[in-house]
Chain A
């Protein structure tokens, strides 16, 4: 279980909660192409792709993180690559779910792709359009920060989580807004990483920092468990 969880929190959760979630389908590159449209504001992929605001994404799958030559990466990505970490399908999935939750300090300013299915489509498209990197054949596993792993170990009290969530619904609608996103259905690993970042201040937002500061680990586990299963 630990290996799976480390591989991708989102996937792990889908396995754990198989009873409540439909099984993942393989990504569809055609749908991924459409979903990739907002990424094109910053990234090129395919023949003749060069760096723009973001690095080109040819051969991204299996390439070392933050290592594409000629592009000035943030320390967050560059250090990860220097440690030998690689873009696996799992780590790409988590990065797209919440770039700065997964890599606090990344310069990719993008809220994230909420739907797991959409992320699978995107990965399929990047693989089809940009190919796989020959360099990094080995799939390095990405470790979850110990603080987050510890909260993931707590089995969340769903009724308590539901009660606590009533504070959140004053601002977070299921359908999401332009600046207050929906948080329903977030994978616990992504949810907890986000809340821990607000709680310790590494992600700054006056409202969310204040909300998170009074939530202990039990509360975060309860909320994560509730939001993951809430419809």
Chain B
């Protein structure tokens, strides 16, 4: 039985029938790559493998959602700087421009001996090389009183899509002078500046729409990414609005009550109007199902992002324990290109080049006040290591900050093109 590519193009009705077959036979010579997760790492990997192998490798992308909503710029949406619809990206380009088989389904298991991926609808997809880029799931019990079942009252809004829309609606519905609370995550988590950019954007929204409102940031960490830059920005733009409770003030013993809408910090009960709980994080569930994790993450080789447990599995992005790179969309995209080169080379004999990685994360503090941090990286036996870096400085000229913000808009357009077009 051969696979008809069209049958795999998510939109077709024939899809269900072909996938319902218990097993799709591995009866072809063309090597197969299956990519699980069509986000920053997975979409990039699928696109580069299909493009660079020019038909010599069969690429299947498994992703349950028909539209990927980026987490990045979700904060700008909260602040009113970006449209919700502009956060969404479809998979049509990957299917039609690169012949990638896009299957809209969940991967629920991996049989590493048989080299097959089990899908929620019952099908089983064989692979020669498997790429897992499932992003994050939350650590259960990380914030006392909170569980995923409470996410409609206390959203995490830390995976893209409807959760972010919900959070925005809750902020818009706050009473004048109300309180927005955030419980920030412990390390390591995706997008180290993400929670603090969110605080900035919520503060911007409230200053414009609800100027007497208060922001309560409950943070289990002593320090956080770009802290000096953020605190300088908060003082300049939102003086008196934001209170950060660190471990010295009892943030380590925090408990939330979604029904009562309270946050209890070291025994003191605060009534809040919106509570954004960003729990502790771990690799997406499928990495655990594949049995390639150690602790909360999946350890990989820094040279090609292959799993340290199974060399035929590559793990990208947030789910990977790779060393020094922050868990970011930029990092996942960078890692995917190194992995794609290694995979195409292993399957077709094309040239393999040494791993090289980079990352830049922009954050917006207020209108035309952008900051950035970035680094270049290389592989070592101990993991990915930084070789050079930069960060914005306190007191930079306003036009530099404005240019930094405009660059971030260009980056957003470029990286989403690099993933989907």
Contact = CB atoms under 8 A, between A and B. Distances in A.
Contact of A211 (B351, B353, B376): B376
A171 B414 contact: yes
Contacts of B333: 170
Contacts of B413: 173, 177
Given A179-B403, A211-B376, A171 B387 contact: no
Interface stretch (B106-114, B174-182, B388-396): B388-396
A92 B179 CA distance: 61
Contact of B375 (A164, A172, A210): A210
Given A160-B353, A170-B411, A170-B414, A206 B387 contact: no
Nearest to B362: A207
Interface string B376-394: 1000000000011110100
Contacts of A180: 407, 410-411, 414
A160 B417 CA distance: 22
B229 to A, nearest CB: 13
Nearest to A173: B414
A179 B407 contact: yes
A166 interface: yes
Given A171-B360, A178-B409, A207-B374, 14 more contacts: A159-B351, A166-B337, A167-B358, A170-B330, A170-B411, A171-B411, A178-B406, A179-B403, A179-B406, A179-B407, A180-B411, A206-B390, A213-B376, A213-B388
B418 interface: yes
- Secondary structure type dominating chain A contacts: helix
Contacts of B392: 206
A179 B389 CA distance: 21
Contacts of A169: 414, 417-418
10 contacts: A160-B351, A166-B48, A167-B334, A170-B415, A170-B418, A171-B360, A171-B414, A180-B407, A206-B372, A213-B376
Interface of A: 159-160, 163-164, 166-167, 169-173, 177-180, 206-207, 209-211, 213-214
B341 interface: yes
A172 B48 contact: no
Given A170-B414, A177-B410, A180-B414, A210 B353 contact: no
A209 B388 CA distance: 10
B404 to A, nearest CB: 9
Interface in B299-355: 330, 333-334, 337, 341, 351, 353
A178 B410 contact: yes
Contacts, number: 77
Contacts of A166: 48, 337
A109 B17 CA distance: 61
B26 interface: no
Contacts of B374: 206-207, 210
A173 B419 CA distance: 12
A196 B361 CA distance: 24
A167 B372 CA distance: 17
Nearest to A206: B390
Contact of B376 (A170, A171, A178, A210): A210
Nearest to B408: A179
B356 interface: yes
B127 to A, nearest CB: 23
B39 to A, nearest CB: 15
A206 to B, nearest CB: 4
Interface residues of B, number: 31
A209 B390 CA distance: 9
A172 to B, nearest CB: 6
Contacts of A210: 374-376, 388-390
A207 B48 CA distance: 24
Nearest to A168: B414
A136 to B, nearest CB: 37
Given A170-B334, A179-B403, A206-B390, A214 B409 contact: no
A119 B175 CA distance: 58
Contacts of B417: 169, 173
User: Which of A160, A171, A210, A213 is packed against the most chain B CB atoms within 10 Å?
Assistant: A171
A214 B376 CA distance: 8
Nearest to B406: A179
Given A170-B334, A210-B375, A214-B387, A163 B353 contact: yes
Contacts of B330: 170
Contacts of B387: 214
A209 B372 CA distance: 14
B138 to A, nearest CB: 28
Contacts of B409: 177-179
A171 B361 CA distance: 12
Contacts of A213: 376, 388
B372 to A, nearest CB: 7
A197 to B, nearest CB: 17
Contacts of A207: 360, 372, 374, 390, 407
B414 A177 contact: yes
Interface in B164-202: none
Nearest to A167: B358
B330 to A, nearest CB: 6
Contacts of B351: 159-160
Nearest to A178: B406
Nearest to B389: A210
A180 B376 CA distance: 19
A169 B411 CA distance: 9
A163 to B, nearest CB: 5
A178 B417 CA distance: 16
Contacts of B388: 210, 213-214
B257 to A, nearest CB: 42
A45 to B, nearest CB: 29
A190 to B, nearest CB: 20
A177 B403 CA distance: 12
